[in-house]
């Protein structure tokens, strides 16, 4: 048994139901599960001094495309909106290999961890023709190496250009292949136990890249195995025009028609919902992953987060893929989300602490987890710590709940702890050889980009 004690914590923001902020407490965990947060001093195998530390629950990322870590900051797409951006990038992504998936997963999740993220959901939907290896398996392997809690998805695309969709034939699969592989991945990797480090969701890519039968069959398969459903929705007006033209329905109406609604479903973006649709999301507890930086970068619009919060729509926070971000820093996303809604909604905007709760409790809810997202006994010991005794935080620490979103923290955190293990310390990943991964990843990016010339 591994026993961890974080001693004499200056300030601990619990994000619990009472929104408690505790001072001068000791947090004690056994095998990655918090046993006590109080003034008792326990014996432990590993003791960390919390004297100057601000401690927060680990951040939870609810939407990503880790492979895009290798296609960020590309000049040819900087001015484009979603559809044109995708069409350009598909031509590079068709060159993905198991090696690029593995390395980009390590790089993207490594960056997330350095900035306080302890659980990552990834939406991988590019399965290039001719690649028969288990790409999702390589992602789970990367997550295990790093020590991050990982929710993968079996994404998919089944509607190619020749059938009226957006992606080229080279990255599209038929429905039977997708469903068989989805079932295999659920059976192989989906672990439903408490404090699980590995779970699976099914995630056909978007209304304009998948067929109606794939949506319907995926929903049936997900419910057979009790896994969650995820896709992009209401991201752009182009998408809305697409579904109106092809199926005669608005995007959410289309999803409802194929049984893609309910508390086991969450959508990435959720920008272009009308009032009736927001009410339907709230009534059915269908969730939304809010990705502010990506939405700003691609000029997609602003997710109506204040209205969603008022109505009770479940919301989590996410970075989205690195080609539209262009990074994997959920801590940065907190501040951008806060500022975006201040600009757009003034007094109705969520507070900094509201945004922190989206990235912790809200995100945990979207992933169907009640064992992460808050710090209290019998929850996972997933947290990050910031030494408050630094010049950049002078005058900012009297309101620790709001600090991360209003002031922001713009460097790697001092500790990221996942399931009771120190995974990042002083900005250095402890579980992998960061220098070697960086070297290999640089080379793999060059190879990938050279394929397309
Ligand atoms: Zn996305």
Q: How far is the CA of 329 from the centre of ligand 1 (A)?
A: 15
Q: How far is the CA of 207 from the centre of ligand 1 (A)?
A: 13
> Can you count the helices (H) and strands (E) in the chain?
15, 17
Cβ–Cβ under 8 Å, residues 140 and 150 = yes
pLDDT score of 91 more than 70: yes
d(CA 58, CA 116): 6
pTM over 0.85: yes
Nearest residue to 78 (alpha-carbon basis) of 90, 94, 89: 89
pLDDT score of 394 more than 80: yes
What are the domain boundaries of the chain?
A: 3-58+375-429, 59-366
Sign for the pseudo-dihedral over CA of 340, 341, 345, 346:
negative
Q: How far is the CA of 319 from the centre of ligand 1 (A)?
A: 9
Q: What DSSP string runs through 209-260?
A: TS-HHHHHHHHHHHHHHT-EEEEEES--HHHHHHHHHHHSS-HHHHHHHTT-
pLDDT score of 150 more than 80: yes
Q: How far is the CA of 251 from the centre of ligand 1 (A)?
A: 16
**Overall fold of domain 59-366:** TIM Barrel (3.20.20)
d(CA 203, CA 206): 9
Q: How far is the CA of 399 from the centre of ligand 1 (A)?
A: 33
Instruction: Give the chain's mean pLDDT.
Output: 97
* Each residue's pLDDT tens digit, 397-434: 999 999 999 999 999 999 999 999 999 999 999 999 99
Q: How far is the CA of 63 from the centre of ligand 1 (A)?
A: 6
Q: How far is the CA of 284 from the centre of ligand 1 (A)?
A: 23
Q: How far is the CA of 253 from the centre of ligand 1 (A)?
A: 20
Q: How many C-beta atoms lie closer than 10 Å to residue 75's C-beta? A: 6
Q: How far is the CA of 445 from the centre of ligand 1 (A)?
A: 20
Q: How far is the CA of 8 from the centre of ligand 1 (A)?
A: 41
Residue 199 banded pLDDT, cuts 50, 70, 90: very high
Mean pLDDT value of segment 138-155: 98
Q: How far is the CA of 213 from the centre of ligand 1 (A)?
A: 22
Q: How far is the CA of 206 from the centre of ligand 1 (A)?
A: 9
Where are the extended beta strands (E) located within 41-186?
Answer: 46-49, 53-57, 59-61, 117-121, 149-156
pLDDT score of 153 more than 70: yes
Cβ–Cβ under 8 Å, residues 198 and 191 = yes
Q: How far is the CA of 292 from the centre of ligand 1 (A)?
A: 12
Where does 94-128 have alpha helices with state H? Answer: 98-114
- Inter-CA distances, 386 with 115, 372, 419, Å: 10, 19, 18
Mean pLDDT value of segment 365-393: 98
Q: What phi, psi does 200 have (nearest 5°)?
A: -130, 140
Q: How far is the CA of 232 from the centre of ligand 1 (A)?
A: 6
Nearest residue to 164 (alpha-carbon basis) of 242, 235, 80: 242
Instruction: Give the model's pLDDT for residue 132.
Output: 87
pLDDT score of 453 more than 70: no
3-58+375-429 has CATH 2.30.40.10 classification: yes
* Each residue's pLDDT tens digit, 244-282: 999 999 999 999 999 999 999 999 999 999 999 999 999
């Amino acid at each position: 048994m591994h026993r961890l004690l974080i001693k004499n914590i200056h300030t601990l923001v619990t994000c619990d139901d009472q929104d408690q902020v505790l001072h001068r407490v000791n947090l004690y965990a056994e095998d990655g599960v918090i046993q006590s947060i109080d003034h008792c001093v326990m014996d432990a195998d590993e003791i960390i001094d919390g004297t100057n530390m601000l401690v927060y629950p680990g951040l939870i990322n609810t939407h990503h495309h880790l492979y895009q870590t290798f296609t960020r900051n590309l000049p040819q797409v900087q001015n484009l909106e979603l559809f044109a951006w995708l069409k350009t990038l598909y031509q590079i992504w068709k060159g993905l290999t198991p090696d690029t998936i593995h390395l980009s997963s390590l790089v993207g999740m490594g960056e997330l961890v350095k900035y306080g993220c302890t659980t990552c959901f990834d939406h991988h939907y590019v399965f290039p023709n001719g690649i028969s290896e288990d790409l999702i398996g390589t992602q789970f392997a990367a997550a295990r190496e790093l020590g991050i809690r990982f929710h993968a998805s079996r994404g998919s695309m089944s509607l190619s250009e020749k059938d009226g969709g957006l992606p080229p034939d080279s990255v599209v699969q038929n429905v039977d292949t997708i469903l068989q592989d989805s079932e295999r991945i659920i059976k192989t990797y989906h672990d439903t136990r408490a404090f699980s480090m590995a779970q699976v969701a099914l995630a056909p890519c978007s209304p304009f890249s998948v067929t109606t039968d794939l949506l319907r069959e995926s929903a049936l398969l997900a419910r057979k195995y009790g896994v969650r459903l995820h896709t992009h929705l209401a991201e752009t007006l182009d998408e809305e025009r697409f579904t109106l033209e092809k199926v005669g329905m608005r995007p959410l109406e289309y999803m409802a028609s194929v049984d893609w609604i309910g508390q086991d479903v969450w959508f990435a973006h959720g920008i272009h919902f009308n009032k009736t649709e927001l009410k339907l999301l709230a009534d059915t507890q269908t969730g939304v992953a809010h990705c502010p930086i990506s939405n700003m970068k691609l000029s997609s619009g602003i997710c109506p987060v204040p209205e969603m919060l008022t109505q009770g729509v479940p919301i989590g926070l996410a970075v989205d893929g690195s080609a539209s971000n262009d990074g994997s820093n959920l801590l940065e996303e907190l501040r951008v989300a806060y500022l975006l809604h201040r600009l757009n909604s003034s007094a109705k905007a969520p507070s900094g602490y509201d945004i922190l709760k989206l990235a912790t409790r809200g995100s945990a809810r979207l992933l169907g987890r009640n064992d992460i997202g808050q710090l209290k006994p019998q929850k996972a010991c997933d947290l990050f710590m910031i030494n408050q005794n630094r010049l950049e935080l002078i005058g900012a620490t009297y309101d620790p709940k709001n600090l991360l979103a209003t002031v922001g923290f713009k460097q790697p955190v001092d500790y990221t702890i996942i399931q009771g293990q120190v995974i990042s310390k002083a900005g250095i990943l402890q579980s992998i050889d960061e220098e070697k991964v960086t070297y290999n990843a640089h080379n793999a990016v060059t190879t990938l980009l050279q394929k397309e010339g």
